[in-house]
Amino acid sequence: MTRVRVFADAEDVASYAADALAWRIGDARKARREVHIALAGGSTPKRAYELLAGIEGSWKHVHLWLGDERCVPDGDPEQNARMIRESLFANARAEPPVLHAVPAPLVPEDAAWLYSLDVVRGVPDVVFDIVLLGMGPDGHTCSLFPGHPVLSVTEPPVAPVRESPKPPPERVTLTLPVLRRARFTQLLVTGADKHDALARTLAGDPDLPLAMLGEDLDEVACDQAARGEVG
C-alpha cells in the first residue's frame, strides 16, 4: 500500500526527501554495497538535492541516474543533468557521486538505445535501489505522459519519446516496468495545481501513468496544497 506523508509546504517536502535519501544511502554504505538512484527533474527535487548535498559526507558508493532527459544540447538550461550538477554537485561536501548522464545524441532513438546499454551494464539486474519521481499537473512522471504510446513499452529499460505534450518534444525516459521493479519508489508532489492529478493517482485512475504503478509506488511526500488540505 502506498504511504502518503503530508507536509506544510514544498520546503518541508524537499527536506524530508533529502533526509530519506541520506538514510538509504547511509544504509547502503553500512552494508558496503553500491546504491543506484534514479533522479527526477523539477523544482522540489532540485531543492532536495541542494539539501542532500549538505548532508552526505561520502559519495564513493553512489551511482546517480536520470529518470528522464530532454534531447537538448549538453549544458542546455532544459537539461536535467545540468540541473543536478548545479544543485547537488555544486554544493557537495565531498567528492561528488558518479552521474550517469544520457549520451549526447539529440536523436531520441539513439539516446535511448545508448542509455539502455548503460543501464543494463551498470545497474545490477536493472533494479534501481531508489527511484525519485515528480509529477506534472497532467499526471505525467519522468517523460511518461497520459495516453502516450511510450506507456506500452515493456522490453527496453529506456524508451525514446517524440511529440511530448510538454516542450521540448523529444526526450528519453525510463519505462514503466523499470519503475515497477525498483526497491523503493518515492513521489514528490507540491502545489495546488497538482491536487487533481494526485487525487486521481491515489484513487487508481488507470489513465494516469503514476496510478499504473499501483502498489509499486511506495511513498508519496506532498504538501498540504497538493493534498487539498488547509494549512
* Residues 112-150 pLDDT 10s: 999 999 999 999 999 999 999 999 999 999 999 999 999
In the prediction, which pLDDT does 15 show? 98
Tens digits of per-residue pLDDT, 167-180?
Answer: 999 999 999 999 99
Q: Which residues contact 157 (CB under 8 A, 6 or more apart)?
A: 116, 119, 120, 126, 174, 175, 177, 178
- Per-residue pLDDT of 75-125, as tens digits, reads 899 999 999 999 999 988 888 899 999 987 889 999 999 999 999 999 999
Least confident of 11-20, 54-63, 164-173: 54-63
Query: With 80 as the cut, is the pLDDT of residue 196 above it?
Result: yes
> How many whole angstroms from its chain centre is CA 43?
12
Q: What is the pLDDT of residue 231?
A: 53
CA angle 58, 62, 67 (to 5 degrees): 135
Q: Is the pLDDT of residue 229 over 80?
A: no
What is the b/e burial string over 75-84, where b = at least 16 CB atoms within 10 angstroms of the residue's CB?
A: eeeebbbbbb
Class of CATH domain 3-227: alpha beta
Predicted confidence at residue 230, as pLDDT, reads 62
Give the domain ranges of the chain: 3-227
Is the distance from CB of 180 to CB of 216 less than 8 angstroms? yes
Q: What percent of the chain clears pLDDT 70, i.e. is strictly above it?
A: 99
What was the pLDDT predicted at 10?
A: 97
Confidence of residue 8 (pLDDT cuts 50, 70, 90): very high
49 pLDDT band, cuts 50/70/90, is very high
Q: What is the distance between the alpha carbons of residues 149 and 169, in angstroms, rounded to a whole number? A: 14
Residues 6+ apart with CB under 8 A from 46: 83, 87
Cβ neighbors of 191 (< 8 A, separation 6 or more) are: 10, 223, 225, 226
pTM for the model: 0.95
